């Protein structure tokens, strides 16, 4: 009888323990990222969560300028910011909200379209601007006040006038189809796929991810080549700054993505671990599979208070 009593008490304690026990608290990581990073970020998150049980990564995609303003104007909690333009972090987040910036991937501007797009059988790198300016053609581009792809489209259009030696070309391109400007580049994909527009200014990686056809543009205007940085810098644009009513000047440059961990990141330890994964060989492979070229090694200027775990992936560069 004594054995039965002891067994009963043991089982009672076991069931009581199971009933009152709590699961380990879920670790949350918040990432704000450029819309053009939606596909690779989803792949990164899926693999990261598999390798880190209990981690839950929450992502918000928007134009990079919008992402920055969520932090500076709205005060929304965020661990990691991944921008399509590293200079957005430099100009809007450092030093008040972050202290370092890692450049991790590149891209280029193309003209994306579908086989059904008007005149798709004749468009080329030599005549794309003439096709876009035809009366029966509609094209879209991102909003330069929300999205780096928007002001980069402006830069490409501005550089095209000189490259093709066509007076008034830039003004004609930017004056046409202004009703088809959208907050971020991925919004334009839906317009294209539903045949609302025939062509869009787009990143090459996004075109590849969505199986779009595209016209490659010359290096002198597609913002992909570091050898043309000085040439790209001859164009610039003013965009809304970190504070309401303020403006910052963005100069033309080669396309380079940047990322940082916010100074007041709610989960800094997990953020560092995710950033390590992003910069790792597996992370690089994810970017390559998404049509985007990773920078290996990654680049950084002043490391500031950058975690030591990330420095091994870097080539320190002040330019």
More confident residue, 69 or 319: 69
State whether 203 and 311 are in the same domain. Answer: no
pLDDT at 1 over 50: no
CATH number of the domain that residue 304 is part of: 3.40.190.10
State whether 120 and 210 are in the same domain. Answer: yes
**Structure confidence by residue, pLDDT tens digits, 242-291:** 778 889 999 999 999 999 999 999 999 999 999 999 999 999 999 999 99
State whether 227 and 280 are in the same domain. Answer: no
Where helices occur in the chain by DSSP H, the ranges are 2-20, 38-51, 64-72, 86-88, 128-132, 148-163, 169-175, 185-193, 204-209, 219-222, 229-232, 268-279, 281-289, 308-311
**Structure confidence by residue, pLDDT tens digits, 105-149:** 999 999 999 999 999 999 999 999 999 999 999 999 999 998 999
In a domain? residue 208: yes
Q: What is the mean pLDDT of residues 56-63?
A: 95
Positive or negative CA dihedral for 186, 267, 279, 148?
A: positive
State whether 149 and 103 are in the same domain. Answer: no
**Cβ–Cβ under 8 Å, residues 208 and 107:** no
State whether 141 and 194 are in the same domain. Answer: yes
Contacts of 98 (CB under 8 A, 6+ apart): 81, 89, 260, 261, 262, 263
Q: How confident is the model at residue 159 (pLDDT cuts 50, 70, 90)?
A: very high
Range of the domain at 87: 27-107+255-316
In a domain? residue 21: no
State whether 289 and 185 are in the same domain. Answer: no
**Structure confidence by residue, pLDDT tens digits, 78-100:** 999 999 999 999 999 999 999 99
In a domain? residue 249: no
State whether 173 and 283 are in the same domain. Answer: no
More confident residue, 5 or 148: 148
């Amino acid at each position: 009888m004594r054995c039965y009593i002891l067994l009963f008490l043991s089982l009672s304690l076991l069931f009581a323990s199971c009933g009152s026990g709590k699961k380990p608290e879920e670790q949350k990581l918040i990432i704000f990222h450029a819309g053009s990073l939606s596909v690779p970020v989803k792949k990164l998150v899926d693999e990261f969560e598999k390798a880190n049980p209990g981690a839950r990564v929450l992502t918000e995609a928007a134009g990079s300028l919008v992402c920055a303003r969520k932090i500076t104007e709205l005060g929304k909690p965020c661990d990691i910011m991944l921008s399509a333009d590293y200079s957005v972090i430099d100009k809007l987040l450092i030093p008040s909200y972050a202290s370092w910036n890692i450049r991790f991937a590149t891209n280029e501007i193309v003209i994306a379209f579908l086989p059904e797009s008007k005149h798709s059988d004749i468009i080329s790198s030599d005549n794309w601007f003439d096709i876009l300016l035809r009366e029966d053609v509609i094209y879209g581009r991102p909003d330069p006040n929300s999205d780096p792809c928007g002001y980069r489209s402006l830069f490409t259009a501005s550089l095209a006038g000189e490259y093709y030696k066509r007076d008034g070309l830039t003004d004609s391109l930017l004056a046409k189809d202004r009703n088809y400007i959208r907050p971020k580049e991925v919004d334009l994909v839906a317009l294209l796929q539903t045949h609302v527009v025939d062509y869009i200014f787009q990143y090459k990686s996004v075109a590849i991810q969505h199986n779009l056809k595209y016209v490659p543009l010359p290096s002198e205007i597609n913002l992909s080549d570091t050898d043309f940085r000085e040439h790209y810098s001859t164009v610039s644009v003013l965009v809304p700054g970190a504070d309401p009513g303020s403006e910052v000047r963005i100069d033309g440059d080669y396309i380079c993505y940047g990322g940082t961990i916010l100074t007041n990141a709610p989960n800094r330890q997990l953020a560092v671990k995710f950033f390590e994964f992003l910069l790792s060989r597996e992370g690089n492979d994810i970017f390559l599979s998404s049509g985007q070229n990773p920078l290996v090694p990654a680049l950084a200027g002043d490391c500031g208070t950058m975690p030591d775990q990330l420095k091994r992936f870097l080539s320190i560069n002040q330019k």
